[in-house]
Amino acid sequence: MADEDDDIILSELDDEELVQQMHDDLYDGLKEEIEEGVNILLERGWQPYDVLTKALVGGMKIVGDDFRDGILFVPEVLLAANAMKAGMFILKPLLAETGARTIGRMVIGTVKGDIHDIGKNLVGMMMEGAGFEVVDLGINNPVEDYLEALEREQADILGMSALLTTTMPYMKVVIDSLVEKGLRENYIVLVGGAPLNEEFGRAIGADAYCRDAAVAVETAKTLMARKHNQLAAG
């Protein structure tokens, strides 16, 4: 695909063609082209959130489908992920600009055994954009890391991400640990990741399963407001 794309001048494409081309470029792991595409859309007045969801997340969905179907393999998917991250890097400060005051502090990390971090990073970015403070623990976190960070950061919210059916049960290990230590009620626990669903969130004792980053923000706001009301009521 790269050869035939050599002559394409991104700035000459209309919005729809450009988004389509960015999906192709993400698929091909073309980091610089993705950066250029993101900048062009922003210059054309696109909202950062729309660039993120339509051009980047939309493109990653195609990568995911072909990975699942054995058309793409780990090295290609890694390149696509790097290109996606480069685009997210440009959008991050712009998404954060919309936030005003701190409405809560969240510790977030991908669980032990799992190295997927794009979705988790996106949630962190959107939470910051909405006015939360976010402490990102990165990937492959054992229960001790979560517990230590929650205490150290005096966090309100624990966010956990898992993208593998083999790693999602680890979320329950973390929640059970909070229960055992009598700390569960101190935190709002939100979980997310492609293989999860609401039923799983309920079954492991999370406060909520969040389908995507926007839902994570809305859920965090609602549950924080409820927490403040409960505290005020004594």
Which residues would be at the binding site for ligand B1M (CB under 6 A)? 57, 60, 63-64, 67-68, 74, 77-78, 81, 108, 113-120, 122-123, 159-161, 163-165, 190-195, 210, 212-213, 216
Question: Measured from the CB of residue 232, what is the shortest distance to ligand B1M in angstroms?
Answer: 25
Q: Among residues 11 and 166, whose Cβ is nearest to ligand B1M? A: 166
Which of 3/68 has CB closer to ligand B1M? Answer: 68
Cβ closer to ligand B1M: 190 or 204?
A: 190
**Is the separation of the CB atoms in 55 and 23 below 8 Å?**
yes
- Extract the tokens encoding 183: 């700390």
- By C-beta, is 11 or 197 nearer to ligand B1M? 197
Least separation in angstroms between residue 114's CB and ligand B1M is 4
Could you tell me the smallest distance in angstroms from the CB atom of residue 11 to ligand B1M?
26
CB of 157 to ligand B1M, least distance (A): 8
Q: Which residue has the tokens 């988004």?
A: 19
Tell me how far apart the 2 most distant CA atoms of the chain are, in Å. 66
Query: Which of 152, 157, 59 has the alpha carbon at shortest distance from 107?
Result: 157
Dihedral sign (CA 140, 180, 194, 223): negative
Count of CB atoms situated within 10 Å of the CB of 93: 12
Q: Decide: 164 and 113 in contact? Cβ < 8 Å.
A: yes
